[in-house]
Structure 1
Amino acid sequence: MRPIKLFLILFMFLCIGAKQTAVAQQKEDVIYLADGSQKKGKIVSISDELIKFSYTGEAVLYELKKDKISKIVFANGREEIFGQNSSAEKSSNKAEERSAGNLLAVIPFEIASNDQSIMTDVMRKKIQEACVEAMQGQKLAVQFQDPRTTNALLSKNGINFSEIDNHTPDELAKILQVDYVVMGVYDIENKGASTYGSSSSSYGNKQNGDKEKGSSVTTNNSYTTTNYNTKVHMTIYDGTGRQLFSDSKSPLFGTLDSYKGALKTLAKKVPLTK
């Protein structure tokens, strides 16, 4: 056999062998663990928590927890990222949900009253929480920002409750990173106090042989109550400051906590339904 022909035959065998080796290498999936080590083999299945695989040349199945894996490079070249990058992906998904326009924050309510003693931040927070609770009871197509988160973000941006009225709805939506803001006012008119009471008299024992009664003892019972006229105003804006809803409700009986029933009534009228 001529040397040139023999060389060509050997070259062809070498090429075929190299190709088969490359094909064999491409059929391996490579698992990169969080500790820097690697495992090569065949990925059999991937569930929410576990990955099942077998080593190259073996039939035994092994399991790995997904939180121990940083990434997988499959035989076809596709990569799947886990761990910290996966968390970043979840955060991105949350951001996408937020951008879909469904996150709502309730701003602490303003209080308008002729009684300065009840215009407190504590009451503003109570009305804010009651508003969130009332709206959560309805089938609305929104997610609610926790009132504590809302108040913390306002504080971090130097906005006191008494200064909320100095900011536009779109400014507040941007600061709170929400798509809707609920703003409101609780009107409380102190109409003064009323005192109600009653009295009763009792007599001592009759004296012997005397038809007239002895001395009388009178007992007085009284209580004082404060009368209020109240009204709840609620307004909803979108992230651009456009007004979507505005309405008011005056409770039948005016008490300091009558805002609860009024908010439940207003929440039923909110147009952000599914």
Structure 2
Amino acid sequence: MNFTKVVTVVLMLFVSVFTFAQGGKKLDKIIKRDYQIIECTIAKISDKEVEYSLPGETLLISLDVAQIAKIDFASGRSQTFDVSANASTSNAVALDNSGPISVAAMKPNTIAVLPVPYVNSGSMESSEEMAKFAQSDLYNKLLDKSANLFPLTVQDLRVTNSLLHKAGIDYKNVDETPIEDLQKILGVDNIIAAKVSYTISEGSTASTYNSGNAKVSDNNKKVKTSDISTTSASTQTYYNYMVYFDMYKNGTKIYSQSRKPFLNIKDSWIDSISYLLKRSPIYVKR
């Protein structure tokens, strides 16, 4: 009997030590959109904010739900926060790891074309003029083939660029912006993100032109000529392109291809854009 009591006491001590080692009470976890994790005790949740206290404290702290991605409760239950669903107007604001972004009203089955970075991979210089030209070219190709994109509609290019400008995004940093944020900013569920990378090389060619009369001797053994030779040289510029073409739907990449144009001429990248678009999953032959 005494032995049983001893075992019971030992077990209770073991549980106490284990609980202490685990930090006592199990805590809730707030996972923010900037990936920060807050271990705390949730006191209250409303449509606009969450109130919580830190371990060992009674002071309540408020946190805007727009900053929260998910809460894992101590009970094992989880709650995910969808900022776009909570947005009541087209100008609702969410927060990500880089600061506030405007959230446009979502337009289902709409595709937007991002500015197309046009980068010299040798010097890493980019061209704003070519980035806009490439974006316009791709946009016009989508409009021309709108019947093949049904049920998708193409968002007006002015609307796309205006929303990006308000969010501080252009051809220089569009590659650095998460696609999920771009979809919220533009209010579309489909996005095309292309990029043109190139290097320029030069080659010289020489050609010789001969003109004159040949004189043959009577014994047919010696040949006398009075030829005139003209040699000309020319320099040829070669454009070595690589076109990258990505397509997203609801934040997921559904198509990703790259292509090197067959020809090395100045505008050969345009042919690659057309080739990749026609083989994308949104293009349906009719």
Q: Please tell me the TM-score bracket, short chain as reference.
A: 0.5 to 0.7
Unaligned runs of 5+ in 1: 1-97, 204-211
Partner of 1:21: none
AA aligned to 1:126 is F
- Aligned pairs for 1:134-173 within 5 A: 134-136=141-143, 137=145, 139-140=148-149, 141-173=151-183
- Aligned pairs for 1:1-274 within 5 A: 101-116=108-123, 119-136=126-143, 137=145, 139-140=148-149, 141-190=151-200, 192-200=201-209, 219-238=230-249, 240-273=250-283
Mapped to 2, the partners of 1:183 and 1:142 lie a distance apart of: 16
Mapped to 2, the partners of 1:271 and 1:217 lie a distance apart of: 61
AA aligned to 2:163 is L
Give the Å deviation of 1:164.
1.0
- Asked if structure 2 preserves the Cα contact closer than 8 Å seen for 1:230 and 1:255, the reply is no
Mapped to 1, the partners of 2:180 and 2:266 lie a distance apart of: 31
Mapped to 1, the partners of 2:107 and 2:164 lie a distance apart of: 23
AA aligned to 2:205 is Y
The alignment yields a C-alpha RMSD, in angstroms, of 2.9
Partner of 1:72: none
Mapped to 1, the partners of 2:126 and 2:228 lie a distance apart of: 45
The structure where strand makes up a greater share of residues is 2
Mapped to 1, the partners of 2:162 and 2:116 lie a distance apart of: 15
- Asked if structure 1 preserves the Cα contact closer than 8 Å seen for 2:119 and 2:125, the reply is no
SS in 2 for 1:102: strand
- Asked if structure 2 preserves the Cα contact closer than 8 Å seen for 1:104 and 1:143, the reply is yes
SS in 1 for 2:108: coil
SS in 2 for 1:230: strand
Larger Rg: 1
> Residues 241 and 222 of structure 1: is their aligned pair in 2 closer, same or farther, counting only changes over 3 Å?
same
Give the Å deviation of 1:255.
2.4
Partner of 1:53: none
Tell me which of the two structures has the higher relative contact order, counting C-alpha pairs closer than 8 angstroms and 6 or more residues apart.
1
Give the Å deviation of 1:107.
0.5
Mapped to 2, the partners of 1:184 and 1:102 lie a distance apart of: 20
Q: How many residues align?
A: 167
In the superposition, the TM-score normalised over structure 2's length comes to 0.51
Give the Å deviation of 1:217.
7.9
- Asked if structure 2 preserves the Cα contact closer than 8 Å seen for 1:135 and 1:264, the reply is no
Paired-residue identity, %: 26
- Asked if structure 2 preserves the Cα contact closer than 8 Å seen for 1:134 and 1:263, the reply is no
Mapped to 2, the partners of 1:269 and 1:116 lie a distance apart of: 31
AA aligned to 1:124 is A
- Asked if structure 1 preserves the Cα contact closer than 8 Å seen for 2:119 and 2:127, the reply is no
Mapped to 2, the partners of 1:149 and 1:184 lie a distance apart of: 18
